[in-house]
Amino acid sequence: MIWHAVAIRLLRASNLFPKVELIGGKVRATLDATRFLDIHYDPTTRSYSYAFIDLTLPYPGDKRRFGWDDFPHPGDLEKENLGDHPHHFQERRPDGSWHFLGSSFRGDIEKEIPIVLEHISEYLEPKAK
């Protein structure tokens, strides 16, 4: 499996992103001028990162709104104590701080991208409560 071909196919089939492309070693799915999804994946180790970026966020450096990855963040006890460490989901709170949850993701592009797409769709069109 050529991971980026699978990722591009799934992202284009969603009809959510006007532009989906391979840029260097990552796949970028552009939603608009300031929001996009970046996917980094290493098929050898199955290490992954799905990051939904919003360039309008006021926080210096890190413009992720939410995402999933398996970076271990050594010394970060909050993440190390998650049952699925190092796999986690992170989401920016309204105050700019991060909220971390365990994640079932394990670097399976075909199974995980549909979940990522569902989360992005829900984020873009929140259900009425």
User: What pLDDT is recorded for position 74?
Assistant: 60
Domain that includes residue 10, residue range: 3-124
Per the structure, the count of domains in the chain is: 1
91 inside domain: yes
12 inside domain: yes
Give the Cα separation of 66 and 71 in Å (integer): 14
129 inside domain: no
Q: Residue 16: count other Cβ atoms within 10 Å of its Cβ.
A: 15
Task: Summarize pLDDT for 76-86 with one digit per residue, the tens.
Answer: 666 666 677 78
Give the pair of three-digit tokens for residue 27. Answer: 């796949």
For residue 26, is pLDDT > 80? Answer: yes
92 inside domain: yes
| Element at 118 (helix H, strand E) | helix 109-124
Task: Summarize pLDDT for 105-125 with one digit per residue, the tens.
Answer: 999 999 999 999 999 999 999
| HEC profile of 61-78 | CCCEEEEEECCCCCCCHH
pLDDT-based confidence at residue 67 (cuts at 50, 70, 90): very high
56 inside domain: yes
Tell me the pTM. Answer: 0.90
